[in-house]
Structure formats: C-alpha cells, structure tokens
Amino acid sequence: MKHIIFAVVFVAAMAAIVWSSWRLIKYLQVGKFENRFDDIAKRVGNVLKVAIGQSKLLREPVAGAIHAMIFWGFLVLLAAVIESIVEGLIPGGNIAWLGPIYSVLTVSQDIFCLLVLIGVLWALWRRYVQKVPRLQNDDKAESLDATLILVLIGVIVSLLLVMNSVREAAGYEFDWAVRPVGALLAPLFTDPSTAILIFEITWWIHIITILGFMNYLPFSKHLHVMTSVPNVYFGSLETVNALKPIDFEDEGLEQYGVADIEHFTWKQLLDGMTCTHCGRCTSVCPANITGKVLDPKEIIIQMHERTLDRAPDLIALASSNGNRAEANGETTSGSDERHLIGDFVSSEALWQCTTCMACVQECPVMIEHVPAIVDMRRNLVMMEAEFPAEAQTAFQNMENNFTPWAFSAAERADWAEDLDFVKTMAETGEEEREELDCLFWVGCAGSYDDRYMKVTRAFAELMEMAGVKFRILGSEEKCTGDPARRLGNEYLAQMMIRMNVETLNQYNVRTIVTTCPHCFNTLLNEYPDFGGKYDVIHHTQYVDKLVKAGRIKSISAMQHRVTYHDSCYIGRYNNTYDEPRSTLKHVPGLEVIEMGRNKSRGLCCGAGGGQMYLEETQGKRVNIERTEEALGTGADTIATACPFCMTMINDGVKNKEAEGVVVKDVVEVLLESVKNSESS
C-alpha cells in the first residue's frame, strides 16, 4: 500500500512541477528572441566554473564557503533523493548495485549532510545574529522566504541522517553502504520495531518535504535554485562590454529600447527569474554605496515582478489572437495602466547608473544588469524624450560639434600646435600611411580638456621618443559615440560611429592607440558591429610594451608613493589591470600602494554611463568616496589612466583640500622620470 500511495503522490507532485516549469517557460517566450545557443563548449565551461565551481561566490570567502557547502552538499545528496524515490516506488528498491561507487556515495552523503547543516546554521547566524547589511531587508515576506528555505534544507538533511542511522536496526540497510555518521548515531536506535517506526515516519516526512520544496520553488523568491544553472549556461561568453545595436533600417521596428517586459529578450527575463536576492550587486554599486536610490538588485527583482504581473495577460492575448501579443500595452483586461518604468522601476534610479559593471562582475549567476538599464534608458530618450536636462546639452553638442562639449571640430588638434612631429592623416601620403605603426585616437577630452591635453601631449612625446610612427585624425575625428550610447541615444551614437568608421576605413587604419578607456572599449568592442574592425590598444598597454622592448630608456628614480585608480572601462570591461601598474613599476623608487578596492573590485570614479555630463544631486558624490579611499593610502600621487577618472579624482582632491597630493596619468609619471634622467 505504501508504494501505491507514494506513486500517486509522486506523480501528482511531478505533474505540478512540470506545470509550474512550463508556466515559467511560457513567460520567457513573451520576450524577444536572442541567440544564446552558440559555442556549447564555452557555455559548458562557464557552468563548470561559475555554477558548479562557485567561482563568483567564492570571491567573498565567508559567504562563498557557506553557499558552496550547501550547494555541493545538495549535488552529492541527489543520489540519496533518487534512492528515496526508488525505495518508495519499488519494494526493496535501492541503488546499492553500484557496488564500490555506492560506498563512496554513502560516505559522501553523511559527510555532506553535516556540512550542509553547518552551512545552514552559519547562514542563519549571519542573517539574524551578525546581521550582515546586504542580507537585511525591509520586505518581511522576502526575509521569511529566505528563512523558510534554510529551515527546509536543514530539515531535509537532518531527516536523512536520522534515516541512515536507523537503517541497520530496522533491517533496511543495503550492501556496500558505509555511513560513518549513521554508525555513530546507530547505538541510539537499537530496538528493531522502534527503528522501523522511526524510519517510516522520517522517510515520509523527508520525501514529502523534498517534493513540497520542489513545488514551492517556482513560486518563491528562491526560484534561482531551478534557474541559476541555465542562466549561467546562457550567460555572456565575454565580459558584457558591448551594447547590442538597434537596427534602425528595420522598417517594422516600432519600439526603440525597453518600455515593458515584451521588449526585453528572453534571456533578460530569465535574469529576472534567476536573481538570488543576495545583494552582492547592490553592495558594490557606487551609486547605492553613496546613498542614491539606484539598487541593481531591486531593478532585476522588479523586472521579474512586472513579468509575473504582465506576462499572463500577454500570453492570453497572444492565444486569443493566434500569435504573440503586440507591444502596445493591450492586455486581456483592456489597457494596462501600469508601466515597467515608473510603477516598478524608478526612472531616477536608471539615470544614476555609472555603467561601471561592478554589479555584473559580482553577480554569482551571471545576471546582466547594465544592458537592461541602458535598454530602458533608450526607451526614455528615443520614445518618451524623458531624460535629465543636462543630457540635452550633451546631445545637442554631439549633434552639432561631434563632441559632448561646445567646441568646434577645427579646434581638435590645437593641443599639438607646437609639436611639429604630430601630423594628421590628411597631411600624410598614401605610401607613408602604409608605414605607420598606429593611429593615435585622441578623444574629446584629450582634444579639448585643458588638464587632459597635458596627458595627450605626454603620450605623444613618449611615442616620439620611442620612434613610433603615428598620426592623428585632427578635425576629422568625432566622438566615438560612447556617451550617447550609454545615455540611451542610440540613434545619435550610430550616426557618429558610422561617420568615424567611414573615415577610418578610408585611411585603411589597422591599429589604433587611445588614452581614453571609453574610446578604447567602444572602438574595440562595438565598432565591429558597424564594419570597423581594428587592433585597438590602450595607451598604458602601449607604453608598457615600448618600455619592455627597450624603446623608452633612461628612466630615472623618483621617490614617490603612488596609488593607482582602476578605470572601469579598461578594467572590468576589458580585464586590463597589470599594464598600468607595470608601467609605474618601470620607474625606480616608486612605491605603488593598492587601495582596498582595487582591480576587479575597484570603485568607479562616478563619471561613466554619461554621468560626466549629468548633475549628481543625491547622497555623497561618488568621486569623493573614491578620493577618500585613495587619500587613505597615504600616497602623494594618485595615478589614473582615463580622462574622466582624472577629472573626478582631481575634483575630489580639491574638495578634500589634500595638500601635497597630485593626480597624474600613468604616462605623465613615466615622462617626468625620463625627462629628469635627461636633465641630470
């Protein structure tokens, strides 16, 4: 009778799970198609490293260890769950026929039961006793859900230990079974009749708890238990450093950017389902750290909340129409009066993002927050014309002058007026152009900003010293489009991108060197979508290479304490951390001191994502937060490798009235050392 009852319960439970899973798959189908099915080998590799190996979680050692114990424990305990199901369906059923492998499994199960219990108790301690800030939540339902999940996990493994402890006395033990913890507890259960009763009771509670747990997950805030591995598998194969272009030539395209969930891709909707609510993204967000409303975790959660709110109506409408619902706000109940942006996601929060990618870097399940934020900005700019007033000024300047500032193209090469060795491509014959080592892409800040023009000149002088054959575009150079793209004005960005690609291809440019990380990332990772494929090098990489090749010599000692600030767009976006530090270390006597938040954990300066052109009105200024950290190292020089970072850190130093502290680009430090050597 037991086996018949269990068979009915099991079939009913599995049918419910299949129904719940199919419901979620239908929700994903509301989103637009996106090809995430390529390069299976790399995707499996991501699963092994990130999902199974827990590589991102282990970046935070304590929390990572807790989660790893629970996660790996459950993987090992899957065999025990399967065996319990087999026992329920088949009289005397077991998997002991595996022989020695079964011995390994049973030993592992006992050990991991203890590890999972330790992990659960440790997690509860951090949440309720230690009160780790990112685990605290005003949402009582979310807090209760997290506690319930931990308790259920604890119950499942505790019952398994009890079951294994009474098996011998109850006569239910199998050949090849080796249960060290069970053996220790077995003396407590010596009476056969009592052992049988305890086993039957614990077995039923155990298996019902497991089936209930599985059916609860699709409706809980811990849905990620089911979706995290698929989300990692379908995650970006590279760093999320390139925004996807909009095809403005598609005459059937009526919506630019994301106004509601049906404009997201299915993978972005899966991101919403996969959020673990762990708060790692929020804990590293520069805007949130400095008291602003932006909360990356909350944006992803609200995307999912809106999916649950709107998807059923869209599916019903599509069913009644015989096709997928159109993106016009119509649902089965008529007009949907609620909106993703405004009712679920704060537009104010969207405009506070610096696109620094720290949230994406830290997410343990490879959620892609930044592209979703930019997609919603695109809708606000191109469909609703709702954006900060300061952005309008930058847009107008880019439309009229091809730079975010009110300067003319004729002034782009003024920084090199007295440098006879700096010439433009237009001044260079075709044969001579073929012999060039590179094109120096100066960028808007390098061309117009008084402070950063000094960096432009310093880099040009170092290249001249090293015998590098280079040219600039001068008045033919235009903004790469990065500010417009990150601020959501994709149309304006593409206009400038296509004009630049035409110019670069006209001159048959192959190698580009630039002092701006934003230009670097855009030229390297986004221009290929528009026919511009070049070998793009950041100036710190180029100078480091020149020094190592012996082309920059006579470097004299300098007695300074230097701390280096990582630019997000060469760091997290392009994994360039070593070359800037290596360039500094080429200078004898320099003591390079790291800030607490450095390299992939570095804090943004606050200027990315178009923030350079917007007003920061809420909370503490991000650049002040970063400058305070730099000053805390005791360094007398703060080295940067980005025009925006230099501006923000310079402003921070002035604000803190830090006497004796200077902000310099990496190449300025190197050039000073070389010139000191020449003058001595």
Beta strand 330-331 with 334-335 is antiparallel
Instruction: Give the mean pLDDT of 86-94.
Output: 88
C-alpha 124 chain-centroid distance: 27
Six token digits for residue 240: 């999320």
What's the pLDDT tens digit per position in 214-234? Answer: 999 999 888 999 999 999 999
Higher pLDDT, 407 or 128: 407
* Domain spanning 390-546, CATH class: alpha beta
Q: In which band, very low, low, confident or very high, does the pLDDT at 326 lie, cut at 50, 70 and 90?
A: very low
Contact 627, 419 (CB under 8 A): no
Six token digits for residue 569: 């767009």
CA distance 173 to 157: 18
Six token digits for residue 14: 């599995």
The domain made up of 35-233 has a fold known as Fumarate Reductase Cytochrome B subunit (1.20.950)
* pLDDT value, residue 610: 97
Beta strand 535-538 with 511-514 is parallel
Burial class of residue 506 in the structure, from the number of CB atoms within 10 Å of its CB (0-12 exposed, 13-18 middle, 19+ buried): exposed
Six token digits for residue 74: 């459950």
Beta strand 535-538 with 561-564 is unpaired
CA distance 283 to 442: 35
- CATH code of domain 261-382: 1.10.1060
CA distance 311 to 30: 7
* pLDDT value, residue 554: 78
Nearest to 87 by CA among 180, 182, 160: 160
* Alpha helices (H) along 47-139: 61-89, 100-128
Query: CATH 3.40.50: does it fit domain 548-679?
Result: yes
The answer, yes or no, to whether residue 20 has pLDDT greater than 90, is: yes
Q: How far is CA 644 from CA 259, 339, 613, 670, in A?
A: 30, 35, 10, 20
Q: In which band, very low, low, confident or very high, does the pLDDT at 185 lie, cut at 50, 70 and 90?
A: confident
What's the pLDDT tens digit per position in 512-550? Answer: 999 999 999 999 999 999 999 999 999 999 999 999 999
For every residue of 246-305, DSSP letters joined together read P-TT-TT----S-SSGGGSBHHHHHHHHH-----HHHHH-HHHHTT-S--HHHHHHHHHH
CA distance 402 to 2: 77
Q: Mean pLDDT over all residues of the chain?
A: 93
Q: In which band, very low, low, confident or very high, does the pLDDT at 327 lie, cut at 50, 70 and 90?
A: very low
Instruction: Give the mean pLDDT of 432-453.
Output: 97
Question: What residue spans in the chain does CATH classification 1.10.1060 cover?
Answer: 261-382
C-alpha 289 chain-centroid distance: 17
Question: What residue spans in the chain does CATH classification 3.40.50 cover?
Answer: 390-546, 548-679
CA distance 51 to 45: 10
Q: In which band, very low, low, confident or very high, does the pLDDT at 335 lie, cut at 50, 70 and 90?
A: low
Q: In which band, very low, low, confident or very high, does the pLDDT at 171 lie, cut at 50, 70 and 90?
A: confident
CA distance 607 to 354: 6
* pLDDT value, residue 510: 97
Strand partners, 456: none
The answer to whether the predicted template modeling score (pTM) of the entire model surpasses 0.75 is yes
Question: What residue spans in the chain does CATH classification 1.20.950 cover?
Answer: 35-233
